[in-house]
Amino acid sequence: MAEDIKVIVFKLGAEEYGIEVDKVQTIERMMPITRVPKTYAFIKGVINLRGVVIPVIDLRGRFGIDEAEHTDQTRIIIVNVNEMEVGFIVDSANDVIDLNRDSIDTPPDVVGGIRAKYLDGVAKIGEDRLLIMLNLSEVLNKGEIIQLESLEG
């Protein structure tokens, strides 16, 4: 019998995505972000979170989705990727669910315009709800991780 995993659900536009809870450090409200020159466009800069400098990425920009105005619902999800803390800007993060690993299918080549390499799979929830599971280590490739590590200082 497959195990259940806890997943944080967040939104980018109309699509729902999931990250396993054990990879998430904290979820923060939007806060001032210090721009850093000469970085990828989707790297918005760094934040100082309780004395720790954390690079912040706009997931919309990372996935080639048009950027949107930040609202009261906008959140920064702080995750641990390859031994490094990174913040992901998302439209909203407001749900934690239990998901059976058996309900996660291999992703098609493209989901919502996002290439499959960024995805761990697509989970079916109920009759008509799909949850796109992110592959965090692919969301940041090695070159980007090196650039982000230099931002952490």
Q: How far apart are CA 14 and CA 76, in angstroms?
A: 18
- Arithmetic mean of pLDDT over the chain: 85
Q: What is the mean pLDDT of residues 2-23?
A: 91
Q: How far apart are CA 13 and CA 91, in angstroms?
A: 7
pLDDT score recorded for residue 113: 54
- pTM of the complete model beyond 0.85: yes
Looking at domain 4-152, what is its CATH homologous superfamily? CheA-289, Domain 4 (2.40.50.180)
Domain extents in the chain: 4-152
Burial of 3 (0-12, 13-18, 19+ CB in 10 A): exposed
Q: What is the mean pLDDT of residues 102-109?
A: 79
pLDDT score recorded for residue 144: 67
Rounded to 5°, angle at Cα 132 from 2 and 10: 110
